[in-house]
Protein backbone atom coordinates (compact mmCIF):
# COMPACT_ATOMS: atom_id res chain seq x y z
CA UNK A 1 0.00 0.00 0.00
CA UNK A 2 1.42 3.36 -1.05
CA UNK A 3 0.31 6.74 0.33
CA UNK A 4 -0.54 8.98 -2.62
CA UNK A 5 -2.15 12.06 -1.07
CA UNK A 6 -1.55 13.60 2.32
CA UNK A 7 -1.33 17.35 1.71
CA UNK A 8 -4.49 18.26 3.61
CA UNK A 9 -6.37 16.49 6.43
CA UNK A 10 -6.96 13.69 3.95
CA UNK A 11 -4.95 10.54 3.30
CA UNK A 12 -5.47 8.36 0.26
CA UNK A 13 -3.65 5.09 -0.42
CA UNK A 14 -3.08 3.11 -3.59
CA UNK A 15 -3.22 -0.66 -3.16
CA UNK A 16 -2.59 -3.19 -5.88
CA UNK A 17 -3.26 -6.79 -6.70
CA UNK A 18 -0.26 -7.24 -8.96
CA UNK A 19 -1.29 -10.74 -9.96
CA UNK A 20 -4.53 -9.48 -11.51
CA UNK A 21 -3.32 -5.91 -12.26
CA UNK A 22 -6.13 -4.39 -10.23
CA UNK A 23 -5.55 -1.18 -8.28
CA UNK A 24 -7.60 0.17 -5.38
CA UNK A 25 -7.98 3.56 -3.72
CA UNK A 26 -8.24 3.31 0.05
CA UNK A 27 -9.35 6.20 2.19
CA UNK A 28 -7.23 6.67 5.29
CA UNK A 29 -8.20 7.93 8.75
CA UNK A 30 -11.55 6.06 8.66
CA UNK A 31 -12.70 8.42 5.88
CA UNK A 32 -15.38 7.32 3.41
CA UNK A 33 -14.91 6.96 -0.34
CA UNK A 34 -17.43 6.83 -3.21
CA UNK A 35 -16.89 5.79 -6.84
CA UNK A 36 -18.75 8.41 -8.89
CA UNK A 37 -18.18 6.48 -12.13
CA UNK A 38 -16.79 7.67 -15.45
CA UNK A 39 -16.47 11.44 -15.88
CA UNK A 40 -14.94 13.61 -18.60
CA UNK A 41 -13.62 16.21 -16.16
CA UNK A 42 -13.24 16.64 -12.41
CA UNK A 43 -15.73 19.50 -12.81
CA UNK A 44 -18.44 16.91 -13.55
CA UNK A 45 -18.63 16.20 -9.80
CA UNK A 46 -20.55 19.05 -8.21
CA UNK A 47 -22.01 17.55 -4.99
CA UNK A 48 -21.16 14.68 -2.66
CA UNK A 49 -23.97 12.09 -2.60
CA UNK A 50 -25.91 11.02 0.47
CA UNK A 51 -25.67 7.30 -0.40
CA UNK A 52 -23.41 4.85 -2.19
CA UNK A 53 -20.32 5.06 0.02
CA UNK A 54 -17.98 2.07 0.03
CA UNK A 55 -18.61 -0.32 2.93
CA UNK A 56 -14.93 -1.36 2.95
CA UNK A 57 -13.31 2.08 2.68
CA UNK A 58 -11.78 1.21 -0.68
CA UNK A 59 -12.82 1.16 -4.33
CA UNK A 60 -11.26 -0.10 -7.55
CA UNK A 61 -9.09 2.60 -9.12
CA UNK A 62 -10.11 3.07 -12.76
CA UNK A 63 -8.71 5.65 -15.19
CA UNK A 64 -11.42 8.16 -16.11
CA UNK A 65 -13.43 7.59 -12.93
CA UNK A 66 -14.20 10.25 -10.35
CA UNK A 67 -14.14 9.60 -6.61
CA UNK A 68 -15.44 11.51 -3.63
CA UNK A 69 -13.93 11.37 -0.16
CA UNK A 70 -15.83 12.31 3.01
CA UNK A 71 -13.36 12.93 5.82
CA UNK A 72 -14.07 12.03 9.41
CA UNK A 73 -13.85 15.75 10.27
CA UNK A 74 -16.77 16.38 7.84
CA UNK A 75 -14.97 17.80 4.79
CA UNK A 76 -15.33 16.60 1.21
CA UNK A 77 -12.83 16.14 -1.61
CA UNK A 78 -12.98 14.84 -5.16
CA UNK A 79 -10.46 13.30 -7.52
CA UNK A 80 -10.44 12.12 -11.12
CA UNK A 81 -7.88 9.52 -12.14
CA UNK A 82 -6.23 10.47 -15.43
CA UNK A 83 -3.75 7.57 -15.72
CA UNK A 84 -2.67 4.48 -13.81
CA UNK A 85 0.89 3.13 -13.97
CA UNK A 86 2.61 0.23 -12.19
CA UNK A 87 3.98 2.45 -9.42
CA UNK A 88 1.81 5.59 -9.40
CA UNK A 89 -1.34 7.26 -10.63
CA UNK A 90 -1.93 10.72 -12.10
CA UNK A 91 -5.04 12.53 -10.91
CA UNK A 92 -6.72 15.90 -10.49
CA UNK A 93 -8.14 16.77 -7.09
CA UNK A 94 -10.08 19.43 -5.22
CA UNK A 95 -10.91 19.90 -1.54
CA UNK A 96 -13.90 21.63 0.06
CA UNK A 97 -12.38 23.65 2.90
CA UNK A 98 -15.77 24.63 4.40
CA UNK A 99 -16.72 22.03 6.99
CA UNK A 100 -19.98 20.19 6.27
CA UNK A 101 -20.37 21.73 2.79
CA UNK A 102 -20.94 18.92 0.27
CA UNK A 103 -20.84 21.27 -2.71
CA UNK A 104 -17.81 20.40 -4.85
CA UNK A 105 -18.05 22.91 -7.68
CA UNK A 106 -16.85 26.47 -7.97
CA UNK A 107 -19.64 28.97 -8.48
CA UNK A 108 -19.35 31.71 -11.11
CA UNK A 109 -19.06 34.25 -8.26
CA UNK A 110 -15.58 32.95 -7.39
CA UNK A 111 -13.96 34.02 -10.68
* pLDDT, tens digit, 9 for 90 and up, residues 55-88: 999 999 999 999 999 998 899 999 999 999 877 8
Question: SS3 of 44, please?
Answer: helix
Q: How many CA atoms lie within 13 A of 20 on its CB side?
A: 7
Q: Is 11 in contact with 29 (CB distance < 8 Å)? A: yes
Q: Please state, for a pLDDT cut of 70, what percent of the chain lies above it.
A: 87
pLDDT band at 28; cut points 50, 70, 90: confident
Can you give the pLDDT at residue 9?
67
How far apart are alpha carbons 70 and 57 in whole angstroms? 11
- Average pLDDT (26-48) is 94
How far apart are alpha carbons 35 and 74 in whole angstroms? 18
Count the neighbouring beta carbons within 10 Å of the beta carbon of residue 54. Answer: 17
In the predicted structure, residue 54 carries a pLDDT above the cut 70:
yes
Amino acid sequence: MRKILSAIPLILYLESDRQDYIYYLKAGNDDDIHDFGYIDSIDDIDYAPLNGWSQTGKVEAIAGHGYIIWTKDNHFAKIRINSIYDNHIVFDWAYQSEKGNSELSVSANHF
